[in-house]
Amino acid sequence: MSSFKDLRIVDNFYQTSAFFPMPTVLVGTLDSEGRTSLGSYSLCFPYYIAGKDRYAMLLECRNSSNTAQHILAGSKVSLNFIPDDRKYFREAVRLGFPGDTPQEKMKNCLFTLEKGQAEGERPLVIREAFQVFECTWNSKLEDACLDKPGQLDGYEPPYRSFNGITSKFGAHFILNIDKILMKEKYWDSIVNGVKANAFPPVPVDYGYRDSTNFWCSRFKKPFPEKIQAKEGDINSVIYAAERTDPDVKFTREACAKLTKIPRVFLKAALAQMVKIAKEEGISVIDEAALAVINDKRRKEKK
């Protein structure tokens, strides 16, 4: 007998039929007067993460929302990730309430706005955020550029499959990432190595429930779990390293330091190391050369 109970799947299933952890994101767009407008969203996730000439996020929202209408009209977006703070979450709930005009929402807004770093006319970013993605809607996908703002009572078919107007009341936007802005403390953590006390205080949003409340959980310090190298892993690394490039060799000692790289990523990691080694004039990657290569890889993150 199953230890679970079958739950009926209904609209907005992520918060009506499930417990689904989500980010708390304030999406900045430009209104018709070029002023920054903020809206609160949680259905915002990584989309293109590797293997393309760009990286992208996916935003899901009501197509009649101020945010969707502004994106259809102007394409520029800022994704502001706010830290765990009760007053910030309260303000996010207020900014997420539908029906108010952008001017009404932004009047006496708690957050401080400042200019971002991407080029062109764009929405301002939130100073209190721990990170911001400055983005541009990829309206070329699925010819979504043909979708126009102005229909606030719902859009009629045909609908796009994954970008633009996707249903009578829904929209999906593929947002190419132009800049990732990070507060210095967390920037340093990513570039120079992360520690438990160097994670931003990220709240977890559980959505709107029982037609009454938005629910959010407080941040707790994360903990690490080391990947244990298995017996024989070094031989697997040596095997892959010997077949990466005939002009660049890896010593056994260097290979021993690479055993914790998951096998699925090993080939790509070795290829990147060989590329850097050739740029640096290195033909044998030993422990010292590996340190030089890893240092350059870290600098490329900056």
Determine the distance from the C-alpha atom of residue 268 to the mean position of all C-alpha atoms in its chain, rounded to a whole number.
22
Q: Is residue 150 part of a domain?
A: yes
Out of 217, 245, 261, a domain closes at 217
Q: Tell me the whole-structure pTM to 2 decimals.
A: 0.82
Where are any strands of DSSP class E within the chain?
A: 25-30, 36-41, 44-46, 56-62, 76-81, 113-114, 125-126, 131-137, 164-165, 170-182, 204-209, 213-217, 249-250, 284-285
Let me know whether 197 and 242 are in one domain. no
Considering 217, 251, 279, which residue would you say is the last residue of a domain?
217
198, pLDDT greater than 60:
yes
Q: Over the stretch 84-137, which tens digit does the pLDDT of each residue have?
A: 999 999 999 999 988 889 999 999 999 999 999 999 999 999 999 999 999 999
Confidence of residue 301 (pLDDT cuts 50, 70, 90): low
Residue 46 belongs to domain with CATH number: 2.30.110.10
- Which amino acid is it at 95? L
Q: How many domains does the chain contain in total?
A: 2
Query: Are 91 and 25 within one domain?
Result: yes
pLDDT band at 77 (very low <50, low <70, confident <90, very high): very high
Asked whether residue 8 is domain-assigned, the answer is: no
- Torsion angle in degrees (nearest 10) through CA of 44, 169, 97, 125: 40
**CB-CB neighbours of 122 under 10 Å:** 24
266 & 126 share domain: no
Partners of 249 in beta bridges: 284
Domain end point (choices 191, 217, 243) = 217
* The pLDDT value given to residue 298: 76
- Note the pLDDT of residue 197: 87
User: Which CATH number is 262's domain given?
Assistant: 1.10.8
Residues 80 and 207 in one domain: yes
- Other Cβ atoms within 10 Å of 166 Cβ, number: 20
Q: Contact at 8 Å (CB) between 147 and 165?
A: yes
- Tell me the per-residue pLDDT of 256-284, one tens digit each, with 9 for 90 and over: 999 888 888 899 999 999 999 999 999 99
Specify whether 240 is located in the same domain as 269. Answer: yes
Domain extent at residue 239: 233-301
Across 223-233, average pLDDT:
71
- The reported pLDDT for the residue numbered 279 is 92
Are 176 and 73 within one domain? yes
6 within domain boundaries: no
Encoded amino acid at 229, one letter: A
Distance of CA 172 to the CA centre of its chain: 15
Do 69 and 138 lie in one domain? The reply is yes
Does residue 279 form part of some domain? Answer: yes
170 and 249 part of one domain: no
Domain contains 1: no
Helix ranges (H only) for the chain are 13-16, 66-74, 86-96, 102-106, 184-192, 233-242, 252-256, 263-279, 287-301
Contact 203, 24 (CB under 8 A): yes
Q: Are residues 183 and 283 in the same domain?
A: no
Q: For residue range 146-169, what is the model confidence (pLDDT) as tens digits?
A: 999 999 999 999 999 999 999 999
Does 110 share its domain with 238? Answer: no
Does the residue 32 lie in any domain? yes
Could you tell me if residue 227 is inside a domain? no
Q: What is the distance between the alpha carbons of residues 71 and 59, in angstroms, rounded to a whole number?
A: 11
Tell me, yes or no, whether 228 lies in a domain.
no
CA distances from 8 to 13, 14, 16, 20, 80 (A): 9, 12, 9, 16, 34
